[in-house]
Amino acid sequence: MQTLPTAVTHLVVGAGFAGLGMAIRLDEAGETDFLVIEKDSDVGGTWRANTYPGAACDVPSQLYSFSFAPNPDWSRSFSPQPEIHAYLRRVARESGVLDRFAFDTVLEEARYDEQAQRWVVRTNHGEVTATTLISGSGGLSEPRLPEIDGIEGFQGELFHSARWDHDVDLTGKRVAVIGTGASSIQLVPEVAKVAGHVDVYQRTAPYVIPRNDRRYTRLERLLFRHVPAVQKVYRTATYWARESYVPAFTWKPRLATPARRAALLNIARGIPDPALRERVTPDYAIGCKRILISNSYYPALARDHVDLVTDRIAKVTGDAVVTVDGVERPVDVLVVATGFHTTEQPIAERIHGRGGRSLSQVWADTGMASYKGTTTHGFPNLFQLVGANTGLGHSSMVFMIESQIAYVLDAIASMGVNRYAAIEPRRDAQDAWNRDLQRRMQRTVWSTGGCSSWYLDDHGRNTTLWPRTTYTFRSLLSRFDVDAYDVEAARSDERISS
Ligand code: N01
C-alpha cells in the first residue's frame, strides 16, 4: 500500500497473530473498511522479529495456530520459529486481506477526538482517522536493554536476542550472553556449537524441564492434511491437558511438585558437575517465573568452552564484562537476552484518550488496568488485544487472542445495530474486574513463589497474567456486555459500521 487512506472505520495496529487475526475476522464479518498498520515490513509480529538461532515455540504446535486456519504442515510437536512465521505469511496471503495492510508504518501518536468521536492517528506516513482503534501491538515487542555501567561504550558487536544480527559470524568468537530466560536457553546451545567460548550471565536460575518434542510421522501429517478431524482431536486433547495445569499456578502450587522433580532430573541428566548443578538449581517455587523447556540447555552449560557466571555484572568495558568480584572476561560479541518491556508498554505513551491523557499517565499510579483486558475507561472505542492480565504461563496466547477478537467483533456489531458512536467501560465495572483479578492473584504462585519476574510491575502487582482457565476467559468474553459500558449516540448521523 503506497498511500494511506485518510479515514477508515477500524484501524488495527500490528500484524502479528493479534492484528492479522483481527483483520481476517473483521473481513469475514463484513467490516471491510479497515486498515492494519505494521511498523515492520512483513506480517508475523514476534515470530518475525525473533530470529535468533534455536528460536522455537514452547507451546505445542497444535495449539499455536488460529482455530479457523489449521496447519497440517507442522513438522514437529513444538514448532521452530521459521515454520510459525511461514504459517502466518501463508494465512495472510490466502485470506485476501493484505491489500489493507500498510507496512513500515509506525503509530506515532493516537488521540481521541471527543467532538468527532473518532481516533486521530498520526503515523510516519500521514494521518488517519478511525472510529475504532484496535491495538495488536503485542506484550513482548519492545526489547528491554539492561542498564549496565559502561555498556554503551562496548566496542564489539552487541545486540538483543529479539534483534539478532545475522551478519555477525560467531565462529570461534568469545560470546557473552546476559540473561537466562526463555530466549537465552534456546539460543545458548546453538551459539555454543560455533563459538570459541561462551559466558552465560545468570542473575536468577530458571526452571527448565525436558522438551518433549518430536517430529510428526508421515502418517500423522497425511492424516492432518486429509482427515482434519484427527488434527482437531490432537488440538482438543492438548488444549485440555494444558488447562489441567492451571490449579498448580493459581491455587495449589504443591500440585507442581512433579514438574519440579522433572526439572531437577533434567539438571542431573544434563550436568555432571555437582557444583554447577547447585548453581543452576532455582531457590523459589516452580511456576513463579515462566517454566522453560529444553533438552539441550544444561548439556550446553556443561561443555568445556561454556562458563556459567553467577557473580553480578559490575560493568562492561570496551572489550570485556567485569563482575563484582573484579574478574574481567573478554568478549567479542555481547548478546543481551534480557527480555521485553511488559508492564510499561511503550505504545501506552502514544495513545491519548479523554482529556488528552495517555494510557501510561492513567496507569502511572495503578499499573496496567483494563476491563476484560480489552477496553479501558477513558479511552472510548479503543480495544487492546493481549492487553492487561491476558498473558499465560501454561497455554497458547492464540486462544486468548481469538477470545478477545470475538468480543471486539460483538462490540462492533452492537455499535452498528444500536447506532452507538462511542462505547467505554464504566469506571466501576473496570474497578470491580480488577479487584477480582488482584484478589485471585494473591494465592497464585506468581505472587507467593518467592521470585521476582516480569509478570509483576513496580508496585508488585501482577498486571500481565490471567489467573484463571482460558476457558473461563473465553466464556467471560463470549458476548459484548453493554451493561458494563457507557455508550454515546452519534453526534452526526453517521453509522458506526461500513
Ligand atoms: O526474557 P525474560 P526472554 N542483568 O524476561 C535477565 C516469551 N518467549 O526474552 O530472571 C542480568 O524471560 C533476567 O534475569 P532475572 C516468553 O513469554 C517465548 O527470555 O530477572 N540479567 C532473565 O534471566 C518469555 O517469558 C518463547 O533475574 C538480566 C533474562 O534476562 C518472554 O518471551 C521463546 C538483566 C530475561 O528473561 C521473555 O523471554 C522466547 C540485567 N540487568 C521467549 N536484566 C516461546 O517459545 C534482565 N536479566 C513461545
Q: State yes or no: pLDDT of 214 exceeds 70.
A: yes
Q: What is the mean pLDDT of the chain?
A: 95
Distance of CA 60 from the midpoint of ligand 1 (Å): 20
Residue-level pLDDT at 342: 72
Residues 109, 183: one domain? no
Indicate which CATH number applies to the domain containing 406. Answer: 3.50.50.60
- Point out the ligand 1 atom lying closest to the alpha carbon of residue 452: 20
Q: Do residues 491 and 442 share a domain?
A: yes
pLDDT tens-digit series, residues 379-397 = 999 999 999 999 998 999 9
Atom 28 of ligand 1: nearest residue by CA position: 179
Pocket test residue of 148, 203, 340, 454 for ligand 1, highest count of atoms within 8 A of CB: 203
Number of structural domains (the chain) is: 2
For residues 346 and 313, state if they share a domain: no
User: What confidence tens digit (pLDDT) does each residue in 252-280 have?
Assistant: 999 999 999 999 999 999 999 999 999 99
- Residue 180 Cβ inside 6 Å of ligand 1? The answer reads yes
Q: What is the pLDDT of residue 249?
A: 96
pLDDT tier at 492, thresholds 50, 70, 90: low
Residue 201 lies in a domain: yes
Domain with 184, as residue range(s), is 151-206+245-336
Same domain flag for 67 and 104:
yes
Q: Where does the pLDDT of residue 225 fall: very low under 50, low under 70, confident under 90, or very high at 90 and above?
A: very high
- The answer to whether residues 11 and 138 belong to one domain is yes
Answer with the one of 336, 365, 384 that is the final residue of a domain. 336
Ligand 1, atom nearest to 147 Cα: 41
Residue 496: is its pLDDT beyond 60? no
pLDDT tens digits for range 89-131? 999 999 999 999 999 999 999 999 999 999 999 999 999 999 9
Q: For residue 3, what pLDDT is reported?
A: 87
Confidence of residue 85 (pLDDT cuts 50, 70, 90): very high
Residue 58 Cβ < 6 Å to ligand 1: yes
Do 33 and 105 belong to one domain? yes
Assess if residue 240 is contained within a domain.
Answer: no
**Does residue 483 lie within any of the structural domains?**
yes
Pocket test for ligand 1, best of 57, 183, 292 (most atoms within 8 A of CB): 183
If phi > 0 it is left, if psi is from -120 to 50 it is alpha, else beta; for residue 219 that is: alpha
Reading the block at residue 329, the C-alpha cell is: 572476561
Q: Are residues 360 and 322 in the same domain?
A: no
In a domain, 236, yes or no: no
Rounded distance from Cα 359 to ligand 1 centre (Å):
25
Residue 57 Cβ < 6 Å to ligand 1: yes
pLDDT of residue 343: 72
What pLDDT does residue 345 have?
77
Q: Is the CB of 339 under 6 A from ligand 1?
A: yes
Are residues 262 and 292 in contact, defined by beta-carbon separation less than 8 angstroms? no
Q: Residue 290 Cα, ligand 1 centroid: separation in angstroms? A: 9
Which amino acid residue places its CA nearest to atom 1 of ligand 1?
A: 339
Question: Tell me, what's the pLDDT at 323?
Answer: 98
Q: Tell me, letter by letter, the H, E, C secondary structure of the chain.
A: CCCCCCEEEEEEECCCHHHHHHHHHHHHCCCCCEEEECCCCCCCCHHHHCCCCCCECCCCHHHCCCCCCCCCCCCECCCEHHHHHHHHHHHHHHHCCHHHEECCCCEEEEEEECCCCEEEEEECCEEEEEEEEEECCCCCCCECCCCCCCHHHCCCEEEEHHHCCCCCCCCCCEEEEECCCHHHHHHHHHHHHHCCEEEEECCCCCCEECCCCCECCHHHHHHHHHCHHHHHHHHHHHHHHHHCCHHHHHCCHHHHHHHHHHHHHHHHHHCCCHHHHHHCCCCCCCCCCCCEECCCHHHHHCCCCEEEECCCEEEECCCEEEECCCCEEECCEEEECCCECCCCCHHHHCEECHHHCEHHHHHHHHCCCCECCCECCCCCCEEECCCCCCECCCCCHHHHHHHHHHHHHHHHHHHHHHCEEEEEECHHHHHHHHHHHHHHHCCCHHHHCCCCCCCECCCCCECCECCCCHHHHHHHCCCCCHHHEEEEECCCCCCCCC
**Quick check: CB of 128 below 6 Å from ligand 1?**
no
Would you state the pLDDT for residue 260?
97
- Residue 231 within a domain: no
Average pLDDT over residues 452-474: 94
Residue 118 lies in a domain: yes
Is 365 exposed, middle or buried (CB count within 10 Å of its CB: 0-12, 13-18, 19+)? exposed
Residue 208: predicted pLDDT: 98
Q: Where residue 233 falls among pLDDT bands split at 50, 70, 90?
A: very high
Q: Give the mean pLDDT of 196-204.
A: 98
Is 65 a pocket residue for ligand 1 (Cβ < 6 Å)?
no
Q: Is the CB of 456 under 6 A from ligand 1?
A: no
- Point out the domain boundary residue: 336, 358, 376: 336
Atom of ligand 1 nearest to the CA of 162: 9
Residues 294 and 308 in one domain: yes
Over residues 322-340, the mean pLDDT reads 97
User: Does 178 sit in the ligand 1 pocket, CB within 6 Å?
Assistant: yes
Residue 227 has pLDDT above 60, yes or no: yes
Report the nearest atom of ligand 1 relative to the CA of 140. 32
What is the predicted pLDDT for the residue at 1? 62
User: Of the candidates 275, 305, 336, which is a domain's last residue?
Assistant: 336
Task: Examine residue 214 and state whether it is found in any structural domain, yes or no.
Answer: no
pLDDT for residue 495? 45
Same domain, 18 and 126: yes
Q: Is 454 in the pocket of ligand 1 (CB under 6 A)?
A: yes
Spatial separation of the C-alpha atoms in residues 414 and 112, rounded to whole Å: 20
Cβ of 323 below 6 Å from ligand 1: no
Confidence of residue 360 (pLDDT cuts 50, 70, 90): very high
Q: Based on the domain organization, do 186 and 254 belong to the same domain? A: yes
* Co-location of 52 and 197 in the same domain: no
- pTM, two decimals, is 0.95
Residues 315 and 428 occupy one common structural domain: no
Structural domain includes residue 223? no
494 pLDDT higher than 60: no
Predicted confidence (pLDDT) at residue 68 exceeds the cutoff of 60: yes
